[in-house]
Structures are given as C-alpha cells and as structure tokens.
Copies of this chain bind each other. A is one copy, B any other.
Amino acid sequence: MRIINIGIVGLGLIGGSLAKAFKKYTDCTVSGYDINPETIGRAVKEKTIDCELKIDECDMLVMAVYPADTVRFLQENGAQVKKGAIVCDCGGTKEYVCGEAEKIAAEHGFTFVGAHPMAGTEHSGFDFSDSELFKNASLIICSDKKQPEMEGIFGKIGFGCFKYTTAKEHDAVIAYTSQLAHVVSNAFVKSPAYRRHKGFSAGSLKDLTRVAWLNETMWTELFMENRENLVREIDNLIDNLKKYSDAVRSGDEAKLKSLLREGRTIKESVDGR
C-alpha cells in the first residue's frame, strides 16, 4: 500500500517533529490532532500539518501520545480507522500497548505495529519540535515480520536503523537504556553538592544530569507500565555501586582498580575504543 495520507495524534515533541519531517521530506498529506485545540490551530497556521485529523482518510496513523492514551484513543476511534491502514505508536513501553492495540486492530481490520523512535531531547512539547530530530536515529519496530511501508516512510525522514524486536524484549532492554538512565540522572542531582557544582564541573557532570530535566507525568506512566524490568535494573545498579563503595571504604586498591577495569573493558568491547 502506498502511503499518501498520514495522520498524527498528539503534537508534542515527537508528534510535532514527525509532522514537520513528513511535510518537509515527503509528498504526503499530513493531518493532525492534539488535545489542545490551540496547538492544532498553530500547527495548521505554521503549515506543520495540512489540516485537522481526518482519521478515516489516513493510510498511516501515528499515535504520538502516552501509551494509555494510545489505547484509549483506539478504543474510542478504532471503528473510524480506514480498513488496511497501518497504525503505529511512539510510546516508550510496548507490552501493554501492543497487547491492547493489536486486539482493537484485529476487530476493526487495520494493522497495529508498536514502534519507538530512539530520539528525543530533554525538552518536551510542540515548541521544541524539529524536523531534523530523527536524523540517523533508530526506530524500534515490535513485529515478527518486516514492515516495508514503515521503513520506506520513516527512512525518508531520517531514520537510519530499523530494529525489529518483540514487545517483551523492547521493554526489558528499554528499562535499562532509557528508563534507568533517566532515573540515575534524576537521582544524581539530589546530592547537596549539586548546588555547589558551578566552577567545579565539566562535561561528565553535564552529560550525566542532562535528562534530569524530565516530564515526570510521562515518565511516571512509563515506569509504572514496566515495573518489574525497571526495578531489576535499578537494583542491579545499586548492587554494582555498592561494590565500588565497599572497595573505597575498605581501602582495597586492587579491588577498586579491578572494578574500574571491568567497566572500561565492557565499554570498549561493546562500543569500541
């Protein structure tokens, strides 16, 4: 199926950026919806979208809202989705949303594919949306079969890698690569020393605390949808940190050096030197 009409639900950082990118890099007609009518008006005026969402005309519908809202929207509007259309989402957890949305899709004759663009910034909202956000990013696709239409259209807006996986594997790995990183960054700034850091810090602190600026409403939902995986990752990190703390406390230089060497070696073996 050729994708001519794209609909985007949710014009925040991701949805707004997708709309801008589809308008800039494809010939598709882009319609959009946001819970805030002013955002729709602005997006139309700024030509970020061609018009307000025409759900029954969309060949592809991209859900760019929180996972629970994706499910709710499809429960309420699934009957209007064009037969044979592809509906994908952008949410940060997948087991819950894929399970629910695939049932709704089967009922109404469209295809649901869980997707997660590995792109973002520490900011959120339409104001920060950017047509170039997806340059060379990875798109995680939760599907056991290849999705050539999705690869085609998302490839045009900059995605450089399509990673196929299951919803279960997605949630297990993302609990670490994204969720744990946000927890650590947010916890890191809670030392009293953070308030004294100016003049005492360089790149490492800046990098480590960048995503401490987060949207707590969104992340609370994502964490709650992935509790078991996230708890496992936080506890595992705590166990590892204790080893460093114990080695330093007891003055065990050999142990400390070996812990540091082990981390450096893993980093090198995974990401090269």
Chain A interface residues (CB < 8 Å from chain B): 118-121, 137-138, 140, 161, 163, 165, 170, 172-178, 180-191, 193-205, 207-214, 216-217, 219-220, 223-224, 227, 230-231, 233-238, 240-245, 248-249, 251, 253, 256-257, 259-264, 266-268, 270-271, 273
Contact = CB atoms under 8 A, between A and B. Distances in A.
A223 B256 contact: yes
A188 B219 contact: no
Majority secondary structure of chain A interface residues (helix, strand, loop or mixed): helix
A191 B267 contact: no
A8 to B, nearest CB: 20
Given A184-B188, A186-B263, A189-B270, A245 B231 contact: yes
A185 B227 CA distance: 23
A94 to B, nearest CB: 11
Given A190-B266, A214-B263, 13 more contacts: A138-B200, A173-B200, A178-B201, A182-B204, A185-B208, A185-B263, A186-B259, A187-B263, A204-B211, A212-B266, A217-B257, A220-B253, A224-B251
A263 B189 contact: yes
13 contacts: A137-B202, A163-B200, A173-B196, A173-B200, A182-B204, A184-B208, A185-B263, A189-B266, A209-B271, A214-B263, A224-B248, A227-B251, A237-B241
A90 B209 CA distance: 25
Nearest to A197: B177
Q: Which of A180, A200, A261, A273 has the most CB of B within 10 A?
A: A200
Copies in the complex: 2
Given A188-B184, A233-B193, A241-B183, A177 B201 contact: yes
Contacts of A211: 204, 207
A119 B202 CA distance: 6
Contacts of A212: 263-264, 266-267
Contacts of A186: 244, 259-260, 263-264, 267
Contacts of A267: 186, 189, 209, 212-213
Contacts of A191: 176, 180, 233, 236-237
